Amino acid sequence: MIFTDLDGTLLDYHTYSFKKALPALKEIKKEKIPLILCTSKTCAETEFYLKKLKILHPFIVENGGAIFIPKGYFHKRFSNLKKRSKYWVKELGTSYQTLRKRLGEVSQKFKVKIKGFGDMKPEEIAKKYELSLREAKLSKKRQYDEPFYFVSKIDFEILNKIKKEFAQLNLFLTKGGRLFHLTGKNDKGRAVKILKRMYEMEWNTKVKAIGIGDSLNDLPMLRIVDFPILVKLQDESYDKDVLKNIKPILSLGIGPQGWNEKVLEILENFNGRWLCLSQRRRIKIP
């Protein structure tokens, strides 16, 4: 299995293109390896990229806020899933309304000015983050995660106090490649662990998992997987906060170039034999 972040990882930081990762993506499809998008993006945004990538696997949205499983994907039935349109959904996050309310309260308490996606129009998001207007509109369909930034510079001590304040409210503040994110007590790692277990129950065997990310909000995912890969940032450095906590496999390339490089390397080392044929027949893998 491969769990991957999108922005700055599989997708180029500026262009949102995955062109440099195409050789590895073709090999993954050829070997019928589940590619699981694990992102801070909304369900609507993620569906946009699922269509582009031509994959029909489960996916994880809004920093582990929920797992979306296409109906009919698994043969086994799993408990505590909600039926929503064409998906079974495992909800792990706190409601967006609660996040917005708490974010406003805490920013007022510490007298810091923040701006979240809930405060921004699609046109502003599109311009600021180099998105199309269509993608910007999709990015506002949030359910479990509020991305935001501090309008004026904030020092490390105040930031830590704000984190502790959110923790007392059972909320979690993390940093992505571009923005801070406020979520409930969910993260990518918890969602990855649950979905990986579903696959193991479906296939009745242990599976190996690759995880690929570029920033601190990917750390929980990278802790869980067997092969944690950290791709280079735009300035050709690695996220220092991730390196303080784990020893990942480091790519030489930036974003999708590094993604392609390390995925091909790992697949070659394992000779592409991630799933035995008898197990592949037990699940519909498009």
Q: Confidence band (pLDDT; 50, 70, 90) for 280?
A: very low
Confirm if 135 and 52 have CB atoms less than 8 A apart: no
Bridge partner list, 174: 181
Q: Residues 198-237: pLDDT tens digits?
A: 999 999 999 999 999 999 999 999 999 999 999 999 999 9
Shortest CA distance to 149 belongs to which of 183, 181, 173?
181
Q: Do domains 2-92+187-280 and 96-183 have the same CATH topology?
A: no
Among 196, 200, 205, 201, smallest CA distance to 223 is for 196
| Exposure class string for 30-69: b at 16+ Cβ within 10 A, else e | eeebbbbbbbbbbbbbbbbbbeebebebbbbbbbbbbbbb
Domain ranges of the chain: 2-92+187-280, 96-183
- CA distance readout (Å), 187 to 2, 140, 170: 17, 20, 13
Question: Tokens 């649950």 map to which residue?
Answer: 194
The per-residue pLDDT of the chain, averaged, comes to: 92
- Beta strand pairing status for 249-254 and 227-232? parallel
Catalytic residues: 5
**pLDDT for 1-52, tens place per residue?**
999 999 999 999 999 999 999 999 999 999 999 999 999 999 999 999 999 9
Q: Is 33 helix (H, G, I), strand (E, B) or coil?
A: coil
The percent helix, strand, coil of the chain (3-state, each to 5) is: 40, 20, 40
Q: Which fold has domain 96-183?
A: Threonyl-tRNA Synthetase; Chain A, domain 2 (3.30.980)
Output the CA torsion sign for 149, 150, 152, 156.
negative
> What are the φ and ψ backbone dihedral angles of 104, each rounded to 5 degrees?
-65, -45
Superfamily of structural domain 2-92+187-280: HAD superfamily/HAD-like (3.40.50.1000)
pLDDT digits 0-9 by tens, 255-275: 999 999 999 999 988 764 544
